[in-house]
A and B are shown apart, each in its own frame.
Chain A
């Protein structure tokens, strides 16, 4: 090789020498960047801490309705940060004061503008911060952002709509939940924050052709609804989809719907194990003692999940009797648990 390629070796060597030098330089630059970053970030953090210490009393006073007065740009940014954090912790009058402050601020205008920014992270940050700014007028823009092309932006918009408790967004939020265009937990949480006004839409979703939609809607009805919503859920105990039947059962348990007891007892014969388990759990939550004999039977003879849930349901219904139960590993377990828990 050395002899054959000497013609190519010379220029190659030059190239390599340059590459080597370039790499060495790059290494030095890399180290220099490290040092520079360290210094820069440290300085930035110190400055930020100082600013925050300065604006914190102003922020606290603002929660009581006292205007902060003139601030320079840096202090304003710090104030926006601090108020956003406080906004997540409080509700009621303080949040209204925060909204009043932001409504007239440049930061708010900028956030609205950034909802149509080109970069995804900017849109996401804007959508997120609008929820903290608590200005109700932002909701139409946020609703539009629910249809952004990026999932993160949609998620941030959904979360903010929940924070703003925008009743008008309920339909779009449930659509987003149903079509999984927004992360499940985020959309669900937003709907939960909006609360009862979302209930009507959710009940309507129980008739959708998509089983996943019906299942999630059932779950949320269980968290938002009341016993009078039980009949619709009871109907869905015979839904063709097992996931829906399961969620309907869980929801009935959460609602504490005594009227559902007999339907749930029938559901203990469902052909799918986790549905039977959910029905058992619901019966335990509702607390109707008439279910006990059937539950004991399930705890003795059914598959693991169902028998386990049934045993714990028995424990919930009648802790004293549970301590004496026997007849299956699950009943042994709850007997000991009852004893240990006192």
Chain B
């Protein structure tokens, strides 16, 4: 009996130690990388790229389902992105509201028999629309195929540029976002096949004409703690993975891909809940199979703003869905796990996501209460208990503060000191409370998976696959 307690406690301690150590490593990497990036940014001649006739074109893909409220503003701001050659391809994915009509009215759309590619599957297209005034806008009206993947594929078949940028219909991109996220590709077009940008929380920000003009923290603490979570996930996590070319997650809200590669691997997978993660994993896999040098990079400046859940109910659905998506992707690509043929991806990244992301709820949820109870029952030494507290709480808190420091030093989006103070306090809540709630929902997701449940709990937000550590 004692041995069982020891084993479980030991595993719990080891888990927290490992996970925090890894994040410590990532934080150190991110620190260096971001500093270097900041310096680079001063020598980034964005305007000069803007005027170059050699800058490759980008098709911005916008899958829209029941987005009548904000679609016109969103599309307008996408058309105004600062980029030399781009088009916007919107898919009206069988909306039941007047999304399509609003687009038709706002952009003077007329039916056009546009030729569509056949190499990627999607639900039947009813009609394509073009605009006289906005020749680089296309709207594809199609039947709902049951998910975002099908919708984006619908955009893909109508896209004509060399690169495609998949975004969420309600995400807000900053004017230079496309230029910035394309930069690694512009620097090295033969090698870089995909890039992703940072996603920030729009709740609490002030918008005007579809652009964020003032950054603020959301009133709801639940949403505010997600701001902190996203800092850690993006500034630390993704910068880290990107630096070893094992970036598994490019947010579905904002990712840039080489179109030919996406088409070659069949586009987004309709069966997948986490279609954004799965596409990137499949891209990695294909490039490894082709044995060609390649990179998938994360760019920390270009910003995509997106809304996060403010209630426990919606947040729980979102996190359960992400966990299901992650599990499904890992299952489908289980061949990669600990497979040396896939280098860092197979030996480090995928196993990490399996053990420290997907399977973590088991330990995160059961471990700490177990340790506490065992200690209270006198079964566990004080030493051990202190060690556990140190590693799980203090170290975790330090990592949150470090992520906040990274944000503050490099980007300083949150101008008000009051907000910074609030974020520091929330760091405590994030480690004790928020993390455990998340672990609970992700645990519940195991049962969802076992019951074979898939599909869309809440449609609008799509899986960012944000690590919950």
Which residues of A does B touch, CB under 8 Å?
A: 1-2, 5-6, 9-10, 12-13, 16-17, 19-20, 23-24, 26-27, 30-31, 33-35, 37-38, 41, 88, 121, 124-125, 128, 152, 155-156, 159, 180, 183-186, 188-189, 192, 219, 223, 304, 307-308, 311, 328-330, 332-333, 335-337, 339-342
Contacts and interface: CB of A to CB of B under 8 A. Distances in A.
Given A183-B187, A184-B189, A341 B40 contact: no
Contacts of B384: 1
A19 B187 CA distance: 44
B115 A341 contact: no
Contacts of A88: 45, 47-48
Contacts of A192: 52-53
A20 B383 contact: no
B401 A27 contact: yes
A333 B379 contact: no
Given A34-B405, A329-B115, A125 B42 contact: yes
A189 B54 contact: yes
Interface stretch (B140-148, B248-256, B355-363, B389-397): B389-397
A13 B110 contact: no
9 contacts: A13-B386, A23-B398, A24-B394, A27-B398, A34-B420, A152-B43, A159-B45, A223-B53, A342-B132
B80 interface: no
Nearest to A159: B45
Interface string B24-49: 00000000000010011011010111
A188 B36 contact: no
B156 to A, nearest CB: 13
Q: Which of A13, A30, A88, A219 has the most CB of B within 10 A?
A: A30
B227 to A, nearest CB: 15
A312 to B, nearest CB: 10
Contacts of B40: 121, 124, 152
Contacts of A185: 49, 52, 54-55, 186-187
Contact of A12 (B48, B53, B383): B383
A37 B409 contact: yes
Contacts of B111: 336
Contacts of B117: 304
B264 interface: no
A188 B386 contact: no
A246 to B, nearest CB: 13
Contacts of B405: 30, 33-34, 37
Contacts of B130: 336-337, 340
A177 to B, nearest CB: 11
A165 B48 CA distance: 15
B383 A37 contact: no
Contacts of A159: 45, 48
Contacts of A332: 113, 115
A262 B190 CA distance: 32
Nearest to B389: A20
Q: Which 8 A-B pairs have the closest CB atoms?
A: A30-B401, A329-B115, A23-B394, A128-B43, A332-B113, A336-B112, A183-B187, A13-B383
B347 interface: no
Interface in B359-414: 378-384, 386-387, 389-390, 394-395, 397-398, 401-402, 404-405, 408-409, 412
A219 B55 CA distance: 12
Contacts of A189: 48-49, 52, 54
Interface residues on B, range: 35 or more
Given A1-B6, A332-B113, 11 more contacts: A2-B380, A34-B420, A38-B408, A88-B48, A183-B188, A184-B186, A184-B188, A184-B189, A304-B117, A332-B115, A336-B110
A241 B404 CA distance: 51
Interface string B94-127: 0000000000000000111111111000000000
Contacts of B387: 12, 16
A30 B402 CA distance: 7
A9 B383 contact: yes
B95 to A, nearest CB: 23
A188 B39 contact: no
B292 interface: no
A333 B112 contact: yes
Contact of B401 (A12, A34, A341, A342): A34
A124 B115 contact: no
Contacts of A186: 187
A340 B39 contact: no
Contacts of B417: 35, 38
B354 interface: no
B81 interface: no
Contacts of B131: 340
Nearest to A339: B110
Contacts of A311: 115
Contacts of B437: none
B135 A333 contact: no
Contact of A9 (B187, B379, B381): B381
Contacts of B52: 185, 188-189, 192
